Amino acid sequence: MNTRLLAILLAFAGAAATTRAQETIKIGEFASMTGEHAGFGQQSHKGTQLAIDEINAAGGVLGRKLELIMEDDQSQAGQAATVVQKLIAQNKVVALLGEVASSKSLEGAPIAQRNKIPMISPASTNAKVTETGDYIFRVCFIDPFQGTVMAKFALSRGWKKIALLTDVKQDYSVGLADSFVKYFTAHGGTIVRDQKYSSGDKEFRAQLTSIKGANPDAVFVPGYYGEVPLIGKQAKLLGLKVPMLGGDGWVDDSLLKVAGDALDGSFISAHFSMEDKNPVVQDFVRKFRARFQGDPNDMAALGYDSAMILAAAIKRAGTTDGAKLRDAIAATKNHPGVTGSITIDAQRNASKPAVIMAIAKGAMKFQETVAP
């Protein structure tokens, strides 16, 4: 080979290496930035972005910067599938972060699985999400745990007669109600009424009147933050004064803004409390406030943890190859997350504590931590 040709070849090789170093690692995120559950998407996206920026400021991963490509699924049925398809086929993302709402994760997961692109849901607690396949993970606890926590809590207060009010449009709500009932009825509790509504409903008086007639000790409402404050206010107007119990779906700033003091006396299970003295939590709260001029909630904390766990897995895998990255995520152990220590179990779920929050005087207060 003559020297001129060799020089040209070397120049090419050098250029290719630089391009590789400059090429970003593309990560897809799907979230409800607008529409009915915008509160979920906006918070989880902020937490996710904060983590990605922090990783990049520290030099990125494998010598490359992470690029977060976020798609809004508009809180609309069918959109999560469309945007996940796009992120994989067009943007060529190496992994996916999302969604918050279980029904949306259940739309995206089969597509990620089919394409062998690892997906980590920050916040979807419905059991079926990770059952989709071996590329689907989550960094939150699951509803069979959350439902049990709330059933035990009700029993510990001596509440043996519970009425249910479930959102039949949400896999989350239906699954959480099932888990609650299973534990509650197996340990001496009775479901005295089983009422239903659909996401977007504004009128709950018929269901609440029926519930009042059953004279329950408390009402379990495993719904989302949009409907719950209306349910609380209408219950109060009807003179239904018993405590309401809920899950993480109640978490959003707007809940108590709309409800006022109508949900006083209620309790929910959740993932995170800003009152936690753990320095990892306090450090995160400080960074989040400085960046966004507002407080982080559960979704922000989980979004942050999901991105950090993904970045750590890419680093350990030493590659963005789907199968190897999958194995690295599966091997996550004792990750010091904002939402607790995270170990991914054999079912690709995170086993970790829940917090119980109490609502009093129109405000949410930390009550206790419940270990798995």
**Residue 108 makes contact with ligand PHE by CB under 6 A:** no
Among 125, 132, 234, 320, binds ligand PHE (CB under 6 A): 125
**Residue 164 makes contact with ligand PHE by CB under 6 A:** no
At residue 156, what is the residue type?
S
**Residue 264 makes contact with ligand PHE by CB under 6 A:** no
Q: For the chain, give the longest Cα–Cα distance.
A: 94
**Residue 101 makes contact with ligand PHE by CB under 6 A:** yes
Q: How many helices (H) and strands (E) does the chain have?
A: 13, 14
Sign of dihedral through CA atoms 204, 210, 213, 217? negative
What residues does 138 pair with on adjacent strands? Answer: 121
Q: Give CA–CA dist 6/223, Å, rounded.
A: 67
**Residue 227 makes contact with ligand PHE by CB under 6 A:** no
Tallying the residues shown for the chain, one arrives at: 372
Residue closer to ligand PHE (CB basis): 100 or 328: 100
| Three-class DSSP category at 190 | strand
Q: Give CA–CA dist 239/147, Å, rounded.
A: 27
Residue closer to ligand PHE (CB basis): 147 or 216: 147
Q: Give CA–CA dist 173/79, Å, rounded.
A: 20
Q: Give CA–CA dist 43/252, Å, rounded.
A: 9
Smallest gap from Cβ 172 to ligand PHE, in A, equals 3
Measured CA to CA in angstroms, residue 155 lies from 6, 184, 218, 353, 360 at distances of 79, 8, 11, 19, 20
**Residue 80 makes contact with ligand PHE by CB under 6 A:** no
Residue closer to ligand PHE (CB basis): 193 or 305: 305
Tokens for 143, please give them.
Answer: 């509803």
Residue closer to ligand PHE (CB basis): 159 or 272: 272
Residue closer to ligand PHE (CB basis): 126 or 320: 126
The residues in 298-357 that bind ligand PHE, with binding defined as CB under 6 A, are 298-299
Residue closer to ligand PHE (CB basis): 146 or 320: 146
At residue 201, what is the residue type?
D
Q: What are phi and psi of 289, to 5 degrees?
A: -65, -40
- The piece of 12-20, 99-107, 188-196, 336-344 that touches ligand PHE (CB under 6 A) is 99-107
Q: In the chain, helix, strand, coil percent, each to 5?
A: 45, 20, 35
- The piece of 17-25, 67-75, 95-103, 256-264 that touches ligand PHE (CB under 6 A) is 95-103
Residue closer to ligand PHE (CB basis): 101 or 149: 101
Residue closer to ligand PHE (CB basis): 126 or 332: 126
**Residue 179 makes contact with ligand PHE by CB under 6 A:** no
Do residues 149 and 356 make contact, with C-beta atoms less than 8 angstroms apart? yes
**Residue 73 makes contact with ligand PHE by CB under 6 A:** no
Residue closer to ligand PHE (CB basis): 40 or 153: 40
**Residue 123 makes contact with ligand PHE by CB under 6 A:** yes
Per-residue contact flags (x/-) with ligand PHE for residues 3 to 42, judged by CB under 6 A:
-------------------------------------x--
Within 8 A by CB and 6+ apart from 84, the residues are: 28, 30, 71, 96, 98, 107, 108, 111, 112
Among 251, 262, 263, 328, binds ligand PHE (CB under 6 A): 251
**Residue 126 makes contact with ligand PHE by CB under 6 A:** yes
Among 55, 100, 109, 112, binds ligand PHE (CB under 6 A): 100
**Residue 248 makes contact with ligand PHE by CB under 6 A:** yes
Burial class (CB in 10 A: 0-12, 13-18, 19+), 9: exposed
Owner of token pair 């966004």: 292
Q: What are phi and psi of 214, to 5 degrees?
A: -85, -5
Residue closer to ligand PHE (CB basis): 69 or 129: 129
Catalog residues that contact ligand PHE under the rule CB under 6 A: 40, 100-102, 123-126, 172, 248-249, 251, 271, 298-299
